């Protein structure tokens, strides 16, 4: 089968184009040739709108897109940005969602250019000396070594010249990489951040429908609270006792004796920060909601008919103070035992807690 000359020419053209164009594209990723590099990660509650906002910015500002990757959860784009557009980019990214990280490294390219120009000048001087020596040298082996040295020096000079050209072209250009994550399908942190934060909580339960012979109207107590993720997830164990004083005569009263005296509780809970009010990153007044599930051993004044009941809590709270070492917060929740006596034991619970890094 004969080769088609036209097909062969096309093949050679494609091959040459690939060899020529790929190195040019690769040069864009030599990030030290830019005046600065900037990396931004954003989480957005509207992934489609977030992509559209960024693409519109790139189109209107005529930014050169170097690379773009997209899937159902993530949109990642690398592009060249003029230094004058930096504040405009920051304002636009703030509209997309919550910026979890933003890093910018500045390159002192003017100093690098001077060093490269000096190195190139030295190399050209060395190359000229080697060429003169090559002309006068008649030894074959020596000439061969000189040829090898000159070829390496020439290649190094070509590399320096390319870098110099790129640096001068990108004096005011920032290499920028923006990653947008879909908050609805991706957690705020890709990895769970574990913590060790023991502490204590004060609880006050106001029973909604207290009934004589079943429950009192107020229960107070303390519990040990251990936060184990920065999310925050926690375990809690404690006791709430009747807040009303009882005389011995009342205790031995048949009706009072059967009244619930205390709840011994143990539970697992999680709190979630709101998307639009700091997401837990502020030092003061972080708003959050949460839940807990657990169990309670219910004791009575006469120590008889002790029973167990599962319960759940739905809560809203505010972190009063949050630092690297301590956390003070308060919350209100609805305490709901999942048992036949829930109507006379459920109610509003107010809590305040103090935790510290261990």
> In the prediction, which pLDDT does 192 show?
56
Question: Average pLDDT of 150-173?
Answer: 77
Q: Which has the closest alpha carbon to 150: 167, 173, 133?
A: 133
Q: Give the range among 84-98, 154-168, 179-193, 235-249 with minimum mean pLDDT.
A: 179-193
Are the C-beta atoms of residues 311 and 265 closer than 8 Å to each other?
yes
Query: Cα–Cα distance between 244 and 15 in angstroms, integer?
Result: 90
Condensed to tens digits (0 to 9), the pLDDT of residues 108-127 reads: 666 676 776 777 778 888 88
Q: How many CB atoms lie within 10 A of CB 286?
A: 22
The average confidence (pLDDT) of the chain is 82
pLDDT exceeding 90 applies to what percent of the chain?
44
**Residue 219 dihedral angles phi and psi, to the nearest 5°:** -135, 135
| DSSP at 325 | S
Are the C-beta atoms of residues 153 and 123 closer than 8 Å to each other?
yes
Condensed to tens digits (0 to 9), the pLDDT of residues 63-86 reads: 999 999 998 889 999 999 988 899
What is the per-residue DSSP string for 35-60?
Answer: SEEEEEEEEES-HHHHHHHHHHHHHH
Residue 48 pLDDT more than 80?
yes
Q: Is the dihedral of CA 149, 155, 158, 163 positive or negative?
A: negative
Are the C-beta atoms of residues 161 and 24 closer than 8 Å to each other?
no
Cis peptide before 232 (omega within 30 of 0): yes
> In the prediction, which pLDDT does 18 show?
43
Pairing assessment for the beta strands 173-182 and 347-356 based on DSSP bridges: unpaired
């Amino acid at each position: 089968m004969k080769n088609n000359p036209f097909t062969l020419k096309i093949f050679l053209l494609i091959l040459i184009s690939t060899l020529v164009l790929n190195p040019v594209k690769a040069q864009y990723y030599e990030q030290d040739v830019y005046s600065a590099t900037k990396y931004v990660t954003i989480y957005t509650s509207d992934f489609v709108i977030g992509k559209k906002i960024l693409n519109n910015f790139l189109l209107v500002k005529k930014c050169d897109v170097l690379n773009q990757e997209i899937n159902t959860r993530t949109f990642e784009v690398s592009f060249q940005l003029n230094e004058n557009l930096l504040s405009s980019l920051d304002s636009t990214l703030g509209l997309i969602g919550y910026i979890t990280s933003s890093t910018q490294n500045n390159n002192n390219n003017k100093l690098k250019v001077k060093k490269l120009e000096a190195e190139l000048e030295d190399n050209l001087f060395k190359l000229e000396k080697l060429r003169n020596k090559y002309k006068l040298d008649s030894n074959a082996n020596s000439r061969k070594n000189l040829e090898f040295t000159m070829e390496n020096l020439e290649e190094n000079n070509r590399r320096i010249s390319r870098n110099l050209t790129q640096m001068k072209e990108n004096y005011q250009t920032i290499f920028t990489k923006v990653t947008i994550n879909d908050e609805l399908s991706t957690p705020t942190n890709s990895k769970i951040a574990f913590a060790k934060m023991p502490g204590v909580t004060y609880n006050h339960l106001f029973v909604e429908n207290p009934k004589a012979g079943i429950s009192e109207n107020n229960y107070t107590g303390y519990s040990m609270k251990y936060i184990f993720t920065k999310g925050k997830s926690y375990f809690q164990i404690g006791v709430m006792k009747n807040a009303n004083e009882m005389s011995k005569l009342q205790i031995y009263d048949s009706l009072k004796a059967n009244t619930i005296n205390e709840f011994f509780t143990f539970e697992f809970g999680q709190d979630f920060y709101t998307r639009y009010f700091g997401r837990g990153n502020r030092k003061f007044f972080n708003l959050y909601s949460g839940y807990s599930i657990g169990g309670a051993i219910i004791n009575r004044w006469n120590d008889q008919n002790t029973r167990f009941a599962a319960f759940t809590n739905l809560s809203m709270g505010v972190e009063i103070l949050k630092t690297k070492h301590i956390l003070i917060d308060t919350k209100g929740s609805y305490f709901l035992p999942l048992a036949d006596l829930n109507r006379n034991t459920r109610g509003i619970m107010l809590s305040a807690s103090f935790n510290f890094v261990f």
